[in-house]
Amino acid sequence: MRTLGVLLFPEFELLDVFGPLEVFGNRVVKHEFRVCTIAEMAGPVASAQGPAAVADHALAAAPPLDILLVPGGMGTRREVDHPLVTRWIAARAVDAELVLSVCTGAALLARAGVLDGRRATTNKLSFEWVVSQGPLVEWVHKARWVEDGKVFTSSGVSAGIDMSLAVVAKTVDPATASELARVMEYTRHTDSTDDPFARK
């Protein structure tokens, strides 16, 4: 069983977190993934939309992680300048089997140095800002998600669900990913390069 930790911070994007958690926490894969939430301090963390999510662990007390998931949201504009957070991401990324980001979460990975020398993508509406956080990254404008080694980055918000299903296909098997999409009644994008929101 792999432990997946989701980083929370004030003004995180709700679907960036709970879209992927619907995948990794689903009963179809209940024996494959153990999910926990992590923030600077344990307890409630307000989302960009208002409702709070509860962080199970503080950064300093987080368990070992096989998979690290970093969401986006308006809070990333502040967190990129939070050295405690970026240092924690950098340290945890070294030992993680996989590192994932959704939307502008890629900016946090970039500032932590996790994306240096790698291909990555992010939300198209915030693309230029995210790119400015990672000059050593090969940014891919037209991609639903990008896989480069152990790092997966996805485009905006709902693309995190497709990325998460791709991670399940890789770590468990493709049939399980298809079953998850069926159970979720979700019309899945299986082509990572099919990104209609990148069209101008």
- Please write the tens of the pLDDT for every residue from 38-74: 999 999 999 999 999 999 999 999 999 999 999 999 9
Residue 30 has pLDDT above 60, yes or no: yes
The answer to whether 41 touches 54, Cβ cutoff 8 Å, is no
Percent of the chain with pLDDT over 70: 99
Looking up tokens 């792999």 gives 2
Model pLDDT, residue 200:
53
**What's the rounded Cα separation, in Å, for the pair 30 and 67?**
15
Percent of the chain with pLDDT over 90: 96
How sure is the predictor about 196, in pLDDT bands with cuts at 50, 70 and 90?
Answer: confident
Average pLDDT for 176-186: 97
The pTM assigned to this predicted structure is 0.95
**What's the rounded Cα separation, in Å, for the pair 200 and 106?**
22
Model pLDDT, residue 59:
97
Model pLDDT, residue 163:
98
Domain 2-198 coded CATH 3.40.1160.10 = no
**What's the rounded Cα separation, in Å, for the pair 8 and 38?**
6
Instruction: Output b/e per residue, 70-93; b: 16+ Cβ within 10 A.
Output: bbbbebbeebbebeebbebbeebb
If phi > 0 it is left, if psi is from -120 to 50 it is alpha, else beta; for residue 17 that is alpha
Model pLDDT, residue 171:
97
Model pLDDT, residue 198:
80
The answer to whether 180 touches 28, Cβ cutoff 8 Å, is yes
- Please write the tens of the pLDDT for every residue from 106-121: 999 999 999 999 999 9
